[in-house]
Copies of this chain bind each other. A is one copy, B any other.
Amino acid sequence: MWIANAWYVAAWLHELEPGRIHARTIIDQPLALYRTSGGEIVALEDRCCHRFAPLSLGRLEGDDLRCMYHGLKFAPDGRCIEIPGQKLIPQSACVRRYPVEIVGSWVWVWMGDAAVADRNIIPPTLALDDPGYRLMAGALDYAAHYLLIDDNLLDLSHLSFAHEKTLGLDMPQWADERPRTVALERGLRFRRWLRDHPPRGFMKKLGERVDVWNSYDFLFPGIFLQRTAFYPQGTAEQTGGQEPAGLPLFYRIDEQAVTPIGPRAARYFYAVGTRASDIDADKLERLFSVTTTAFYEDKTIIEAQQKLIDLDPERRMLPTSLDAGPTQFRKLVYGWLAAEHGAPRVAVPAAD
């Protein structure tokens, strides 16, 4: 069971090449994505209404899309505008068109009722399009339910263990201290100081020890927008543990989106970078490479976790104080599921 009435990231904008039709699946619905001559992105149901051939195997004719099985042709709005050898085109001859928005280099698709699609609830990203920043982007497929990836991002304590050699920064604080959590309309906000961190590698220039202000918003379905700001040691103390006001020594940005494909498949879009002044291209590549390595660490654990869940789906997880974030977010998700599907209460097992 899926939440359809939501925006999902379908692709990085740069993935969609002019003149090509791209196949994507989101919440078990197949999509054909392409650019019109005007640069607009079109998302059509990737299934011809005639005999269910995929339109992504079809041909672009101007801004129209022709199914290359029996030749039905569709306008960008999904209406069939030609059936070979047939003059009358019935009204029902159409494929679904999905609302599309481009925000922050991401192509967002509304998978539910188009009448209630609201462009304004797409969150502004942090720095994806900001020339003052330098970021690198990637994507990764998981053989797991998207909520297991969400759980991972909603509890960064795992940085001290799963990523102790990559993202964990040798800091037990990720696991030993809990962030403050604030409810947002479509997710949660996390904030915390990580004190007395010894920078490594090219960041040693920041000093022997720094205080790190880490804050991120996590929004449905799995939008992760994180700022990690490095300040001189003592700043956490000076601010009384509150959000710092001045400019940091160094500013790391992580922007990620988890998109469910099907019950056991999800795509993970991610970008990492800093202010342009913080880093040169070489070091950014290194940062990106370490980050990618870390996501493969997650992928190994999460896919194994999914298999263990499937081996014994009735088993209950042990709640700990680490799980505040995942638990709160799942409550939101189950509430939205219940609302959308009109059920008074939805029973959802660990990873469904």
Contacts and interface: CB of A to CB of B under 8 A. Distances in A.
How many subunits of this chain does the assembly comprise?
Answer: 3
A294 interface: no
A300 to B, nearest CB: 7
A178 interface: yes
A49 interface: yes
Interface string A262-277: 0000000000000000
A178 B160 CA distance: 64
A22 interface: no
Contacts of A93: 318, 320
A285 to B, nearest CB: 27
A62 interface: no
How many A residues are at the interface, by size bracket? 35 or more
A50 interface: yes
Contact of A50 (B69, B172, B320): B320
Contacts of A318: 49-50, 90, 92-93
Given A47-B315, A69-B158, A85-B321, 7 more contacts: A51-B317, A57-B301, A69-B161, A71-B157, A71-B158, A86-B320, A93-B320
Contacts of A175: 70-71, 84-85
Contact of A309 (B52, B57, B161, B176): B52
Contacts of A198: none
Nearest to A297: B68
A71 B323 CA distance: 13
Nearest to A326: B51
Nearest to A322: B70
A155 interface: yes
A323 B70 CA distance: 10
A165 to B, nearest CB: 11
A145 to B, nearest CB: 12
5 contacts: A30-B311, A52-B315, A54-B305, A68-B162, A93-B318
Given A300-B57, A301-B53, A311 B161 contact: no
Contacts of A85: 157, 175-178, 321-322
